[in-house]
């Protein structure tokens, strides 16, 4: 199946503050027992959003002003810690389509890219300006433009971002999921394999 060409993402944004937010804070370890990722989004940031009794804490994701946001703004070194794929999966299942931060942990960045979630980096000053705009008006439309490599907010804020060239190209061209690409080419792989001498010898020996 053909993958979506992710050339830009537009939506409302929410800022989750804090440097070095690790994957255990994004999705606590006790929620990793799921067989599929269905429903994992409801546990995003569970332990900082809810207390031991399940009562809501004060947290941006619990603020009704930011309900329905699809772009997550983070700070420095977002997604550090363990390499659990559940972290970006929970972000995706919660409805987020892109993440903006000052920087990302390497494995989190890669796992997010293979889910079709652009992770783009802004300078500290530009990120602060974006956060101020979003907090002042949560209805502000924010666009992550992968072709122009800028983040736009409202009609007048436009700041450049950085992203690894390979990740950017894979998102724009719709080649961001290597497993989907492999499955799409399964028939051709079978044809090539059938022509390999050692495969033929094995088949004859069997």
**For range 10-18, the mean pLDDT:** 98
What average pLDDT does the chain have?
Answer: 90
The reported pLDDT for the residue numbered 30 is 84
16-38 per-position pLDDT tens digit: 999 999 999 999 988 877 667 88
**For range 146-161, the mean pLDDT:** 97
Residue 133 has pLDDT above 60, yes or no: yes
Distance (Å, rounded) from C-alpha 100 to C-alpha 38?
24
Main-chain dihedrals φ then ψ at residue 174, nearest 5 degrees: 75, 35
% of the chain with per-residue pLDDT over 70:
85
Q: How big is the CA angle at 167 (ends 113 and 193), to the nearest 5 degrees? A: 85
Q: Are 56 and 49 in contact (CB under 8 A)?
A: yes
Main-chain dihedrals φ then ψ at residue 190, nearest 5 degrees: -65, -40
Query: Which residues are paired to 145 by β-bridges?
Result: 8, 150
pTM, 2 dp: 0.85
Residue 108 has pLDDT above 60, yes or no: yes
Residue 64 has pLDDT above 90, yes or no: yes
Distance (Å, rounded) from C-alpha 108 to C-alpha 15?
18
Q: Which residue has the higher pLDDT, 178 or 121?
A: 121
């Amino acid at each position: 199946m053909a993958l979506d060409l992710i050339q830009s993402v537009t939506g409302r944004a929410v800022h989750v503050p804090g440097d070095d937010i690790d994957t255990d804070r994004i999705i606590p370890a006790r929620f990793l027992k799921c067989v599929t990722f269905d429903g994992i989004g409801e546990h995003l940031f569970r332990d900082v959003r809810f207390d031991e009794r399940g009562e809501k804490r004060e947290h941006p994701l619990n603020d009704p002003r930011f309900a329905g946001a699809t772009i997550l703004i983070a700070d420095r070194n977002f997604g550090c810690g363990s390499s659990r794929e559940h972290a970006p999966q929970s972000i995706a299942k919660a409805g987020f389509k892109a993440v903006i931060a000052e920087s990302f942990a390497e494995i989190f960045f890669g796992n997010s890219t293979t889910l079709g979630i652009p992770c783009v980096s802004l300078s500290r000053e530009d990120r602060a300006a974006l956060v101020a705009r979003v907090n002042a008006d949560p209805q502000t439309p924010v666009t992550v433009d992968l072709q122009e490599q800028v983040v736009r907010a409202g009609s007048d804020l436009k700041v450049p971002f950085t992203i690894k060239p390979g990740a950017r190209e894979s998102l724009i061209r719709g080649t961001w999921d290597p497993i989907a690409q492999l499955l799409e080419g399964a028939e051709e792989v079978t044809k090539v394999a059938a022509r390999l001498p050692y495969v033929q010898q094995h088949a004859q020996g069997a």
